[in-house]
Structure 1
Amino acid sequence: MASNQLIAFLVLVVTLLLQYNKNTFVEAQLSVNYYSSKNYYSSSCPNFPRIVRMTISSAVLSEPRMGASILRLFYLDCFVNGCDASILLDDTSTFTGEQNAASNHNSARGFNVIDKIKTRVERACPGIVSCADILAMAARDSVVMLGGPSWAVPLGRRDSRTASQAAANSSIPLPSSSLSELITSFHNAGFTTREMVALSGAHTIGQAQCRNYRERIYNDAKIDRAFAISRQRTCPIISGSGDGNLSPLDSLSPLVFDNSYFRNLVSQRGLLHSDQELFNGGSTDSIVREYSQNLLSFRSDFAAAMVKMSLLNPLTGGDGVVRTPSCGRIN
């Protein structure tokens, strides 16, 4: 091997080892028992899981749509520079955060529920539990409340000191995304194509605004005609008219976390263009068909992908803060 090639090879090996060690170190600082006992970075807060569970249960029972909103809030947070609660920071006269990014403006919701959890947690354990961990737990419990799978949530994240609207605008896939754009976006975040399809199954709950599916129901060729007509009744063809009107992402069982989203795609009844791209003669058709026929396979893959998402670039130790007393402002 030539000397230049050898040097390049050694540089690559060292880089990979450093990245591996960094990831291993970060994950070692996270633990499902992080608040159960005192450790170097925190004191205990044993009632934290119960507080989240009870607050989410009340919120979802009061408004079932809230479960999907909390899950989406977690996704919007993690896809922008990692799971650091940056999505929760409010805009001020001197600070522009992520809440008014193109994908989030008049769309992201559930902040009041996270605030309620934070208030109750602060009352029980002042200054101990991060907003990032609250959001991660709340997302899991929201899925469970709607009949979805559970998973162990690694804890010990810290909160960011800032946010990036520019990163939000560039990182979040659009409802008009093609399959190749979706694959690239998720691959850039570290997900396989199969994990991307599994995570897209979150659209088995929740709703979308007319502005995000108008183009599909009037202009897409691969759409069930009866389905398109039914959605046109609540979404006028004229842009600006009824833009905020809502339709369920899953027309079969919008309030139950199951695999009917994938059955809709097989029937060309995906609401968003980006949804239907997953089953449109491309490389993900076989995965969609598998999930449409095998609920257990989808549940298992979704839970595993959510754990992986929760580990996207978390801040740990002294790299972040625990925002207090609220999640919307830096200390």
Structure 2
Amino acid sequence: MSSKKLSQPCLVCWVVVFLFCTQSVHSQLEVGFYRSSCKMAEFIVKGAVRDGFNKDRGVAAGLVRMHFHDCFVGGCDASVLLDSTPSNKAEKDSTANNPSLRGFEVIDNAKARLETECKGTVSCADILAFAARDSIEITGGFGYDVPAGRRDGTVSLASEVSTNLPTPKFNVDQLTQNFANKGFSQEEMVTLSGGHTIGRSHCTSFRKRLYNFSGTTSQDPTLDATYATSLKQMCPQGSTDPSLVVPMNPGSPATTDAGYYLDILANRGLFTSDQTLLTNAATATQVNINARNSMLWKSKFAAAMLKMGKLDVLTGNAGEIRADCRVINS
């Protein structure tokens, strides 16, 4: 019996399916992406993070926050690293990012080392994802495998930041919606909020809670009185000094632990967006669970960070591999 030949339309279908599957495979992020092209890539980034952390322990929190601010605005494409130009104000210079973001020099150092080791190979977006993971790990959190293969974006607009990032003034409904817009559940929102367990905040981000809360009360009544007094000493009324900062979690500001949730339960959440987690039964339950079980929270946090690092990534032939993380390739 002679074999049947595929009809021309059917052959076209198989070709389309094959190309789609091939494109799909290549568009996926992959653990060990640089095992052949730049096998020392993750080790080099980890070294740059360690060097930066040894100089300034607060840089770890900065790198975690930078990764978050990058991914929530247009996806994890390292657009937050681009400098402004005479014709464009970039994300890093938006009021939500400047002067609060820090750690850019760590990314620069890692990129310079990688360009020497394997030129034009490792994207700035992957460097930032690796650096955030390493920062969590170096401060006592759980490490996790970071799938790589991200490519760098070429557009960075300050105007897109405020519509995508949550603010310190958000209530629980606004936070829930903001994170839902990015594909996160309410529980994942509470989990990722725990990133505030490390780092610092400028006084301007919460000053209203101390001196001008509402028309009937000057101080936020949900804020622990003793803690408020301490904050007022660090953030005097009327001061316009932009360098005034306070630790997010005074008990362990450089350790990734469940202290953030313990602070909330004690009415010591620094931002409105922190303390608001007790105003909703479901989020309050999550706060209590995380406060009681630090190991569980660390595990959930690692999983949520891993998920966040996959937001709207550029892969394959999209975007570029920048030679300098601060500027697009000419």
1:221 CA drift (Å): 1.1
Which of 76, 80, 99 pairs up with 1:83? 76
Structure 2 CA distance for aligned equivalents of residues 257 and 235 of structure 1 = 25
Structure 1 residue 187 and structure 2 residue 187: aligned?
Answer: no
Structure 2 match to 1:111: 104
Structure 1 match to 2:66: 73
Structure 2 match to 1:237: 237
**TM-score, structure 1 length as denominator?**
0.88
Structure 1 residue 207 and structure 2 residue 193: aligned?
Answer: no
Which of 32, 47, 70 pairs up with 2:40? 47
**Counterpart secondary structure, 2:91:** coil
1:236 CA drift (Å): 1.6
Structure 2 match to 1:93: 86
1:169 CA drift (Å): 1.6
Structure 2 match to 1:6: none
Structure 2 match to 1:262: 261
In the alignment, is the contact (CA less than 8 A) between 1:195 and 1:305 conserved in 2?
yes
Structure 2 match to 1:308: 307
Structure 2 CA distance for aligned equivalents of residues 285 and 179 of structure 1 = 10
Q: 1:26 to 1:243 in 2, by over 3 A?
A: farther
5 Å matches for 1:30-179? 30-37=29-36, 44-179=37-172
Runs of 4+ in 1 over 6 A off after TM superposition: none
**Counterpart secondary structure, 1:153:** coil
In the alignment, is the contact (CA less than 8 A) between 2:71 and 2:309 conserved in 1?
yes
Comparing 240-249 with 126-135, greater Cα deviation is found at: 240-249
Q: Which amino acid aligns with 2:189?
A: M
Query: RMSD of the TM alignment (CA)?
Result: 1.6
1:298 CA drift (Å): 0.3
| Runs of 5+ consecutive residues of structure 1 not aligned to the other structure | 1-20, 38-43
Structure 2 match to 1:4: none
Structure 2 CA distance for aligned equivalents of residues 285 and 137 of structure 1 = 31
Which of 321, 324, 327 pairs up with 2:325? 327
In the alignment, is the contact (CA less than 8 A) between 1:27 and 1:311 conserved in 2?
no
Q: Which string of whole-angstrom CA distances, capped at 9 and with x for unpartnered residues, describes residues 19-51 of structure 1?
A: xx99x93786211111002xxxxxx10010110
Q: Which string of whole-angstrom CA distances, capped at 9 and with x for unpartnered residues, describes residues 296-320 of structure 1?
A: 1101110110010001010001111
Structure 2 match to 1:17: none
Structure 2 CA distance for aligned equivalents of residues 76 and 327 of structure 1 = 16
Identity rate of aligned residues, in percent? 39
* Number of matched pairs: 302
Q: Which amino acid aligns with 1:295?
A: S
Structure 2 CA distance for aligned equivalents of residues 57 and 313 of structure 1 = 28
